[in-house]
Amino acid sequence: MRAVTAAIRLTDVSKRFGGVAAVDRLSLAVPDGSIYGFIGPNGSGKTTTLRMIMHLLLPDEGKIEVLGSADTRAARDRVGYLPEERGLYKKMPVRRLLRYYGRLKGRTIAELDPVIDEWLARMGMQGWGDRKIESLSKGMSQKVQFVAAVVSRPALLILDEPFSGLDPVNAEALKDAVLEVRRRGATVVFSTHDMSTAEKMCDRIFMIFKGRKVLDGTLDEIQAEYGFDTVRVRTAGGTAALAGLPAVDAVNDYGQLQEVRVTGDPQDFLRQLTSRTDVYHFEVTRPSLHDIFVRIARPSPSSEIAGGVVS
Amino acid sequence: MMNKTLIVAASEFTTQTRSKAFLVGLLMMPIFMIVAMAVQKFTRDATDIKDRPFVVVDRTGVLFAPLKAAADEWNAGAKAGGVQTAPLFLPTAASFDERDDQARASLSDRVHRDEIFAFVEIPADALDPATNARLQYYSNHPAYRTLPAWISNTVNREIVNLRFRAAAIDRAVVGRLTRRVEINELGLVQRDTAGGIKAAAPVDKVRTTGIPVGMMMILLFSMMSGAPQLLNSVIEEKMSRISEVLIGSITPFELMMGKLLGSTSVSLLLAVIYLIGGTMAARHYGYGDSIHASDMAWLLLFLVLASMIFGALFITIGAACSDLKDAQGMMTPAMILMMLPWMTWFSILNAPESRVSVGLSLFPTATPFLMLLRIMLPPGPPGWQIGLSLVLTALTSMAAVYAAGKIFRTGLLMQGKAATFGEMWKWVRAG
C-alpha cells in the first residue's frame, strides 16, 4: 500500500458526532492521477470523510495526508472542491464569482480569465460571464459550480455528488469535464449514488458503510471477491417461477429480467428452472456494483420468495 | 494569509457598494434630515386645517366678546397669503346654569355628532384673583392641545387685563417695569501672539452643538450602513452553503477578517462622502472653520473601532443562526447596544462632564459615538478619559473579533438550528 503514490492517504481516521461514529478507523489511499469513487448509502460517512480531507472538519483520531502534506490546509490551494449542496452567490455575475473563487486559490485574474473562458466554452456557456447566477437554470448553476472548482487548475479535485439532480445532457457534459480534468493529470475523487457511473468512470471504488470501509479496489477486484454467483434470467413465469427453488438465494426483479443470486452450481439451477417454465435468457455473470452495494447496505429483507430475496 | 483576507475584503466591499442597500444607506442620512425638516414644516404649517367650532359658556359676561375678537384675528392669520395653514376657531356663545347637567349632556351629544368640537365654561368668579376658579374644557379629543391652550392663553390674557384695569394700574407701565434682561452667551476672550486681546465671540449653537451632533450622526449612519449588512451576508453564505466552498480555500478567521475589513471600508467610504458633503455645506453657510482635520481623524478612528465591534457582533449572530428568522431573536441585545448612543446623546449634550456622561462615554460599545461628541463639545474631556476610552474600546474590539472568530468557525458549518448563547460560550471557551 505504501508503494503507491497517493494523492490522499487516510490512516485510522475516526470522527464522532455526539458519541456516534460517523467515520470509524478508516484507512485508504487514493492513487495519484486516478478517478476514485466514493459510494455508500445516505449517512454512511462519505461527506464527513470528504469534509475531513478538505479540512472543513478535523478528525478525532488518525492521520490525513493530502498531496503529500499532513497539514491538509497547506494543500488547500491545490485542491478543487464541489460540495454536495451548491454554494453560489445568487446576485454575483458568473465571471466575477469564478474570479473570486479562483483568486482565493492563489491565482491571479490574468491567469484565471483564459481558463474561465475555456471552461465556459467547454460547458456550452460562452457569453454567460456577465449573467447573474440567479438567472441560471439548476443545470447551468451546477456547471458553474464545477467550473469554480477547476478554474485554479487543481492537482486534486473533490466532488461531492456531482451528478445528482442533473438531466442526462448536463450529466454527460459534466462527465466529459471530469474526464478532461483527469486527462490533464489531476486526481479526481467523487461520491455518488449512481452505481453505473461509478462502474464506468472510476479506476478504483471505495465503499463506506456505517462509517467503516467495506470495499476498496478496482471493479474487477471487487467483483472477483463475489465470484460468478449471479444469473440473469428471462422466463415465461417471471419471479413466480423462481419461488421455492432451492438454488435461489436472492432475486433482484427488474420486471422483464431477474437477477438471481444462486448457491451451488448454476447448471443445477438451470435444470430446476427449465422444469418449471420456458427460459428465454440465461446468463451466468458476476454481480454488478449495484447488486454488491445492495447486498451490503440492505438493512433487512423487504420481501422474500421461498428463501430468495426480491427487491 | 493577508492576501486572501484582502481578496475577501475587496469582494465584500464591491458587493456591498454595488448593492441597492448601499445607495439607500448613502442617501439615508441626507434624506432622513431633509424628511425630518420637511415633516416639521409640514406638521407646523399644513397638517391641520379642519374648522374647530366650539361653544363658550361665559358666566362673567365680559370675556366672550374679546375671545371672539381674538378668534377672528387668529382666523385671519390662518388664512393669510390666500392659503389656509391652521384650523379656524369658531366660538359661539351659550348660557346655562352651572348646575344644569342636562345642558352639558346636550352639548356633549353635539360634540359626539361632530356639530361642535368642544365646549368651555368660564366660571362667574374667574375675574376674582382671590378665588381658585378654573376654566372647564370638555372634548372627546383629549390629545388635541392647540384649542384648549389657545382658549386658556386668550382668556387669561384678557382676565389679567381686566384685573389690572380694576386695580387702576396701567398695563403698559407694568410691561415696561417687568421687562426681562436677556443673557448673551459668549465664548472666552482670546489673547493673540502679539499680546493683543480678541473680543469674545457670541456662542453660536450651530458651531457648539450642531456640528458635534452632526459629526456623531455621520459616525452612527456610516456604521449602521456597513456592519448590519454582515448579518445578511453571513446568513446567505451559510444558507447557500457558500461558506463550505470558501472554507475549502481559506481559514474561517481569514474569511471573517476579510468580511470585517470589507464592511469597515464601506463605512469609511460613506463617512468620507458625508464628511466631504458636510464640509462643503458648512463652508457654504460660513461654518467651514468649525470642522477641523483632527475631528475628522477622531471620527474615522472611532468608526473603525465601532465597525469592528458591531461587525464582529453581527457576524457572530449570522454564524450562530440558520436563517433570518432565528437572527431576529438574537438581534435584540445587539440593537440595544446600537441604540444606547441614540438614547443618551442628548443628556451628554446638556452636561458633557457629568458622571453619567463620563460613564456612558467610557462604555466600550457607546464610546465611539459619545466620546466623539464629548471631544467636540468645548472644552472637551481630559486626556486620560480619551486614552482610557480608546484602550477599553480597542480591547473590546479585539475580544469581540476573537470571540466572533471562534463562533464563526464552528457555527458556519452548522445547519438546521440556531445556537444557544450557552453553546456559543462553549465554542468561545473551547480554544
pLDDT of A306 reads: 36
Query: Nearest to residue B258, comparing CAs of B1, B5, B4, B2?
Result: B5
ipTM of the complex: 0.79
* Mean pLDDT score across all residues of chain B: 88
Interatomic CA distance for residues B394 and B397, integer angstroms: 5
Out of B138-147, B149-158, B222-231, pick the least confident. Answer: B222-231
Judge if pTM exceeds 0.80. Answer: no
Check CB contact under 8 Å for A100 and B247: no
d(CA A147, CA A128) in angstroms, rounded, equals: 13
Kindly state the average pLDDT of the residues A133-145: 90
Helical segments of B248-366, H only: 252-284, 293-320, 324-350, 355-362
- pLDDT at residue A2 is higher than 60: no
Collapsed DSSP state (helix, strand, coil) of residue B366: coil
Angle between helices B252-284 and B2-17 (to 10 degrees): 50
Condensed to tens digits (0 to 9), the pLDDT of residues B405-414 reads 888 877 777 7
Distance from CA of A165 to the nearest CA of B (A): 17
Cα→Cα distances B322→B196, B415, B416, Å: 69, 6, 6
**In what side-by-side order are the strands of the sheet with A6-17?**
A20-31, A6-17, A61-66
Q: Which CATH architecture has domain A228-310?
A: 2-Layer Sandwich (3.30)
- Taking contacts as CB-CB distances below 8 angstroms, the residues of chain B near A81 are 245, 248
Among B229, B224, B207, B205, smallest CA distance to B369 is for B224
d(CA B99, CA B82): 44
> CB of B19 within 8 Å of any CB in chain A?
yes
Task: Return the ∠ at Cα B421 (arms to B416 and B427), rounded to 5°.
Answer: 80
Closest Cβ opposite residue B248 in set A54, A89, A92: A54
Q: Are A62 and A37 within 8 A, CB to CB?
A: no
Query: Which grid cell is B163?
Result: 384685573
Residue A45: name the closest of A57, A33, A36 by CA: A57
Query: How big is the CA angle at B303 (ends B315 and B427), to the nearest 5 degrees?
Result: 25
In terms of average pLDDT, the best of A291-295, B153-157, B163-167, B424-428 is B153-157
Is the Cβ–Cβ distance between A80 and A152 less than 8 Å? yes
The H or E element that residue A99 is part of is helix A94-103
Measure CB to CB from residue A104 to each of B7, B240, B243 and give the nearest one. B7
Q: Which of A104, A107, A147 should we substitute to test contact with B (largest number of B Cβ atoms within 10 Å)?
A: A104
Grid coordinates given for B329:
431573536
Identity at A116, one-letter amino acid code: I
Helix (H/G/I), strand (E/B), else coil: B142: coil
B322 close contact with A: CB closer than 8 A: no
Task: Give the model's confidence band at B147: pLDDT under 50 very low, under 70 low, under 90 confident, else very high.
Answer: very high
Contact state of A89 with B242 under an 8 Å Cβ cutoff: yes
Tell me whether residues A83 and B245 touch, CB distance under 8 A.
Answer: yes
- Residue ranges covered by each domain of chain A: 6-217, 228-310
DSSP state for residue B127 in the 8-state scheme = G
Nearest CA in chain A to B234: A89
- CB of B156 within 8 Å of a chain A CB? The answer is no
Q: Hey, are the CB atoms on B245 and A85 less than 8 Å from each other?
A: no
Q: Looking at the predicted structure, is the pLDDT value of residue B36 above 80?
A: no
Strands (DSSP E) found in A32-104: 35-39, 61-66, 79-82
Across the range B215-234, mean pLDDT stands at 87
Query: In whole angstroms, what is the distance from residue B27 CA to residue B13 CA?
Result: 18
Residue B16: all three cell numbers together: 456591498
Q: Which tens digits make up the pLDDT trace of B117-140?
A: 999 999 999 999 899 899 999 999
Q: How far is A106 from chain B (nearest CA, A)?
A: 8
> How many Cβ pairs closer than 8 A exist between chain A and B?
61
Specify the CATH architecture of the domain A6-217.
3-Layer(aba) Sandwich (3.40)
Q: Does residue B45 surpass a pLDDT of 80?
A: no
pLDDT in tens, B352-399: 889 999 999 999 889 999 999 999 888 889 999 999 999 999 999 888
Cell of A52: 475531513
Considering only CB atoms, A104 lies closest to which of B4, B236, B241, namely: B4
**Chain B residues within an 8 Å CB radius of A86:** 240-241
What residue segments make up the domains of chain B, in order of their start? Answer: 49-173, 204-429
DSSP per-residue string spanning A115-145: HHHHHHHHTT-TT-TTSBGGGS-HHHHHHHH
**B241, A105: Cβ pair inside 8 Å?**
no
CB contact under 8 A, B245 and A89: no
Which H or E run includes B44?
A: helix B20-45
**Type of residue found at A114:** P
Identify whether the C-beta of residue A276 lies closer than 8 Å to the C-beta of residue A228: no
Contacts of A84 in chain B (CB under 8 A): 241
- Take residue B123 and report the three cell numbers written for it: 366660571
CB B59 within 8 A of CB B121: yes
Residue of A83, A96, A148 lying closest to B241 (CB–CB): A83
Topology, domain B49-173: D-Maltodextrin-Binding Protein; domain 2 (3.40.190)
Condensed to tens digits (0 to 9), the pLDDT of residues B378-391 reads 888 999 999 999 99
Enumerate residues 6+ apart whose C-beta is below 8 A from A257: A232, A233, A234, A281
Q: Which of A55, A77, A104 has the CB atom closest to B246's CB atom?
A: A104
Give the C-alpha separation, A252 to B50, whole Å: 86
Interface contact flag, B240 A88, Cβ < 8 Å: yes
Average pLDDT value over all residues in chain A: 87
Residue B243's CB is within 10 A of a number of other CB atoms, namely 23
Per-residue confidence (pLDDT) for residue A305, from 0 to 100: 39
Three cell numbers written together for B417 = 438550528
Comparing CA positions, the residue from A21, A29, A78 lying closest to residue A55 is A78
How close does chain A come to B248, measured CA to CA in Å? Answer: 6
Residue B424: which of B333, B336, B362, B325 has the closest Cα? B333
Question: What residues of chain A lie within 8 A of the CB of B12, using their CB?
Answer: none
Residues of A in contact with B246 (CB under 8 A): 87, 104
Which residues of B are less than 8 Å from A87 in CB distance?
Answer: 237, 240-246
